[in-house]
Structure 1
């Protein structure tokens, strides 16, 4: 009954948003409730019938598991496959969309070691199609429609409040967040004061709205079972809302039945095997996606390091001063020395950045380094060429012994960083 309480409380709280409006629903809890509608308490069954009326264009259900009994055709709600959510959200005349992300969490056991270390990140907690669904809902919210997104809370093995808020702000500019907690409570109702005929009723003129008092001194810290985000609604509840749920039906004693021999159920076995294979396929796809993300990140880091090296080579080649002409006045000498000093300082900064990039490159996995071996040899040759350029600058700035010494030191640091020259490249003298 706990799961029924959870979805019933959620939709009862949101009744003012969806009642009387065309709506799209994507919620595994509603699918389970439809399959077991005969066992639901009467209030829950009435709420379910109001949520998903039969026929018409009032409600659409995006079903994760389209099975017989989910309710199709004229006697039940309009049902569509969940994978067709983008087409339905774009074409159906809906006003409110209510989706729950409970079926879109990634199993931590299916993650690679690289992704498991970052399991706290949103992209490693939810499937890719969950982000696609939120993107499609964001387009509807921009068109003035109401969107409600819910997810299991930390008490139900889902997202922490901070992560859920981050997920919502990634897709929607403004939303109000609610947290649903299922707690035991006792109601104490004031039935009024009674008086005899001889005593005047002092409260007769003071009666007004019945106040609501709340005392949580006997309870424990409430764990959030569900987190809800409301987007695009004007009048939304504020503060704490209390919802009364029907009592749990008493368990009936088991009836003694004669033992019957077990029958082979090949259809059920095939269904279970198909479900298992689909789960394994989804896990394999997720691992491939995570591996692609990790590979792309490493490639981008390698490209950034190569771009820095190319930029340093261009700066060293472009800032080399031209040979002085005999006809030029003597005042050009100090200017060339100042320009060489500025180039030296810039080269020092670029060298420090290059060293950091190279340290990050050398810390990558072995397989990435093997794939980039040829590029690394080319970069080593470029470093030696840079050292030769710096040596030429030192010779041109021979008039300033301090500057020449600093350029010579920079050349030595470049050679130390590059190491022995690769095959076919002459080491600068």
Structure 2
């Protein structure tokens, strides 16, 4: 009879040896919490925001569709296969009518400029009052916030003053809206993220808010945040410096490209330099619970018929490209960009649902369906399907019927506790 050579005290010693590694894994890599992630973020100058803006954007997008032949013609132009055209058409129409903007950022940075302190103070106060009104009227997007000026020496006081006035204005309305996110641009060092977290903590203390109520995202648009002077990436340190307040990393296409000296004609979301930066971002946030967002294209769907259609084709291709690379969110800068955004997402989930559901069903039944998936891949399949349902591209009924499991089981598989499932 074979006897084990190691005793309980050997294993207890192993636990002690690895205790700090276990604690780090639990604290720093909790996994995604499964909450819905917006498909996009819309940026508008803070002075242009009113509670009617989401409806105005949806109407403008619908008008653009009508002006270019209707939804069937537009989807054909975007290459939506006939087999999915009806479902994608219904999805796009529903989004433009019911939820044209999922995530809204009121901008007092690059899209707003330097208008002087008096003007910016007034615009931020007015924007906060409009947000309070929109929440009361139930016209506010599911998530929204303010993009302040960055924490470089020349802009930090202005940026923090706008943040202070915005939060104060929201609190005058009673409480912070659910889904509030602040955007911190032009980050060059983890120290700026740490400083932002400290300012948020101070605002919470002064405003009578619960610790952690203020959360923010970081724009990755400087090379110094991708590769530091010491030859390592500062991104993991920046994530840690946020103290659990960081919601996402957003790639800044044009600031980053310009900083690298890429000629304007070749600055793009799909430039190899952009792919490198986003790959570093992707590794840095893996299993941390911090989300990723791709940037935007500056080719707007405006002008004559061919210019609009060409811009739509470009946007749809870039959105699909981002989705395939694991970036499930991006920026939209013009109402008509909502059309290819939703069309590309609709097709992505409609095309992917049948094979994903079949593979997940085979995995759950321990059945050989031609692909031998690992537990990690099963979690990814479940996450894909739950994302599709959350955004509205897929229905709960069709997913549960195809996969053979209910949404609760799918969610538990996709987002297990602390991101550390047992195999």
Q: What is the TM-score of this pair, normalised by structure 1?
A: 0.27
Max radius of gyration: which structure?
Answer: 1
Higher relative contact order (CA 8 A, sep 6+): 2
**Would you tell me which structure has more helix in proportion to its own residues?**
2
